[in-house]
Structure 1
Amino acid sequence: MTIRVIVAGATGWTGSAVAKGVRAAEDLTLAGAVARSAAGRDIGEVLGEAAAGITVVATVAEALKAGADVLVDYTAPQAVKANTLQAVSAGVAVVIGTSGLSVDDYAEIDAAARANDVGVFAAGNYSITATLMTKFALTAAKYVADVEVIDYASAGKADTPSGTARELAERLSDLRQPATSKPVSELAGIRETRGGAVGAVQVHSLRLPGYVLSCEAQFGAPGERLLIRHDAGSDATPYVAGTLLAVRRVREQAGLRRGLDLLIE
């Protein structure tokens, strides 16, 4: 029996690639599509493919009426939390691809998912190579005390830091050794130039034309440095396989799980 999937943000940069991936997969069925800009149109035609017989709707609430097993959200930071909680309350599992959620947001989502016996999966980045960057950085943090994260994105990216950088910093915070650099609270001058703290890690976000998405962990030790970096390409292809892997496995466990490395080990 195939998994019925709703894609929210189905006409966006990543959402459209995921919707196409769902349509092409033999074990998945596209059960609904959400996109305000294309509401009322057939999703197949919107994607430049054959008609799918599925009308794009404007809200997740409308899409859930048709029934589904999993909601994939690639919408916007201001919409993803409400969409997720709405799906969870309806008993639908959720794969969160949208960045911008805080630790408190994830805690609320986890509590709601457990209360409704529903699985939710979130990752800052669904690329396999980006996941390997995180894995390698976590290994390095066990041996090198000082680490900071730098996040690069296009001038128009709405949230800061990126989901990749936020997740990386949070996870580094859980196992890093005490830093040897002077605490920000003890610095003179303009302290904001040292970036923002995500847990126990300083994060610096650049938003400039010419970048797509990049993230790096910089480690420093006496006399040497280690740079672990991931650079995204100009299309969303790298994120599809990881997202569909999460779709297939999100219902295995109630509550929230975070980090694609949990699924590729």
Structure 2
Amino acid sequence: MPVRILLAGATGWVGRALAPAIAATADLALVAGVSRSAAGTAIGDAPVFASIEEALAVPSDVLIDYTKPNVVKANAAAAIAAGRHVVIGTSGLGADDYAELDALARAKGVGVLAAGNFSITATLLKRFTLEAAKYVSDVEIIDYASAGKPDAPSGTARELAETLAGVRRPATSRPIEEVSGVPATRGGSFGEGATRVQVHALRLPSFVLGVETIFGAPDERLTIRHDAGSSAAPYVAGTLLAARKVAGWTGVRRGLDTLLD
């Protein structure tokens, strides 16, 4: 029996690419969608609803959420409460939010996979960054996105920064508390003390999504960068992989890299 998918954000940028990709598989089936603008219509044989509560009335196994930062947490919590596994591709949630969802998921015995980016190459950026952090102490992140992006930093940069803060070596740069002038220009901090990570978010026309990790050592630098194009195609394969695997554990996992091996 195919894994039954409920797709929230079915008519959004990524959702429009996911729906036909799901239809083209033999082991996944789209059974319902959520989209306020398209409520009352259908995607293939799947009805589209205005709210997650209505869509959850349709029997399903996994919620895939590509909506907006202000609704993704409530959507995920509702799906978990209904006993569904969840794949989160929407940005905007942080470590505290995922800790709450983890507790809910464990109580219901369901799995959640959340990734700031479901692109394979963006996932490799994270993997290479964490490897480099074992050897180089000083690292900061630049986050690039379009002028209209509503959240900062992006989910990709936030996931990277929160993970990096937990494994990096202590920085040799001057602590933020000792910076004069306008300390806020040093970016946003993730983590605590000498192992926290500074993230600088740029929001300008001509960018889609990009993340750059910069390592500095005496007389040398290492830059690892990922840039996304205008198509949602790079996110499809990783999202479908997560939908296939998410029933395999209980609680929240963060990052597509947790599935690559």
Within the alignment, does 1:165 sit opposite 2:157 as a pair?
yes
For 1:69-218, list aligned pairs within 5 A. 69-199=61-191, 200-218=196-214
Per the TM alignment, residue 78 of structure 1 is displaced from its structure 2 partner at its CA by 0.5
Per the TM alignment, residue 56 of structure 1 is displaced from its structure 2 partner at its CA by 1.1
Q: Distance in 2 between matches of 1:97 and 1:140?
A: 26
Three-state SS of the structure 2 residue aligned to 1:115 is helix
Per the TM alignment, residue 55 of structure 1 is displaced from its structure 2 partner at its CA by 2.2
Per the TM alignment, residue 3 of structure 1 is displaced from its structure 2 partner at its CA by 0.3
- How many equivalent pairs are there? 257
Q: Which residue of 1 aligns with 2:225?
A: 229
Per the TM alignment, residue 215 of structure 1 is displaced from its structure 2 partner at its CA by 0.2
Within the alignment, does 1:22 sit opposite 2:14 as a pair?
no
Instruction: Give RMSD over aligned pairs.
Output: 0.6
Q: Distance in 1 between matches of 2:89 and 2:20?
A: 16
Identity %: 62
Q: Distance in 2 between matches of 1:18 and 1:129?
A: 18
Per the TM alignment, residue 15 of structure 1 is displaced from its structure 2 partner at its CA by 1.4
Q: Which residue of 2 aligns with 1:262?
A: 258
Within the alignment, does 1:241 sit opposite 2:233 as a pair?
no
Q: Which residue of 2 aligns with 1:13?
A: 13
Q: Which residue of 2 aligns with 1:56?
A: 48
Q: Distance in 1 between matches of 2:177 and 2:59?
A: 51
Gaps of 5+ in 2: none
Per the TM alignment, residue 188 of structure 1 is displaced from its structure 2 partner at its CA by 0.4
Q: Which residue of 2 aligns with 1:41?
A: 41
Per the TM alignment, residue 185 of structure 1 is displaced from its structure 2 partner at its CA by 0.7
Three-state SS of the structure 2 residue aligned to 1:71 is strand
- Counterpart of 2:189, as a letter, is A
Per the TM alignment, residue 213 of structure 1 is displaced from its structure 2 partner at its CA by 0.3
Per the TM alignment, residue 116 of structure 1 is displaced from its structure 2 partner at its CA by 0.3
State the Cα deviation string for residues 152-184 of structure 1 (Å, max 9, x = none).
Answer: 000010010000000111111111111000011
State the Cα deviation string for residues 31-52 of structure 1 (Å, max 9, x = none).
Answer: 1010001111122xxxxxxxx1
Three-state SS of the structure 2 residue aligned to 1:6 is strand
Per the TM alignment, residue 19 of structure 1 is displaced from its structure 2 partner at its CA by 1.6
Q: Distance in 2 between matches of 1:169 and 1:126?
A: 16
Q: Normalised by the size of structure 2, how large is the TM-score? A: 0.97
Contact 2:31 2:47 in 1 (8 A): no
- Counterpart of 2:2, as a letter, is T
- Whichever structure has more helix as a proportion of its residues is 1
Contact 2:31 2:45 in 1 (8 A): no
